Amino acid sequence: MTLDPDRLDPDLKVLADPKRARIVEFLLDPDLSCCSRDDGVCACDVEAFLGLSQPTVSHHMRALVDAGFVRAERRGRWVYYELEPARFRDAAARLHAFAEAAEQAAPATTVLPATTVASR
C-alpha cells in the first residue's frame, strides 16, 4: 500500500472527534433500549446514549456515514446504523503503512541500559 496522506487525513479527522469516537464505541456494544434491533442501532438510542439533540447526533452520524465508517438505513420513520468493519480495516491499513515507513526511515536505535541514581 502506498503512502497517501490526502486519504488518511480525512479518516483521522472524522474519527478524532470525541463525540464520534463515543458513537463508534456505542455502536460496537450498544445498550439497546428504544427501538433498536439485532441488525442495527436506532438513532434514538444513539441520542439517549450521548445525551445530545437529534440534529447534533444527525450531524455526527452524517460525517461517519459519508466517510464510510457507518452504514445508515431508513426503516419507516427511523434510521438504523451499523459499523462498516471493512472501512475501519482500510483506514488501519493506511495508518499501518505510515508506521512501517517510519520504522524503515528511522535510524537503528540502541537501547541504553537504565542508570540508577544513588541515594544520598
**Whole-structure pTM value:** 0.77
Whether pLDDT at 36 is above 60: no
Res 118: pLDDT: 56
Span 5-105: which CATH code? 1.10.10.10
Distance of CA 64 to the CA centre of its chain: 8
What per-residue confidence (pLDDT) applies to 12? 86
For 11-20, 44-53, 84-93, 100-109, which range has the lowest pLDDT when averaged over its residues? 100-109
The x, y and z cell numbers of residue 57, run together, are 447526533
Q: What is the pLDDT of residues 71-113, one digit of tens each?
A: 999 988 888 999 999 999 998 988 888 888 888 887 765 555 6
Radius of gyration of the chain from its Cα atoms, rounded to whole angstroms: 20
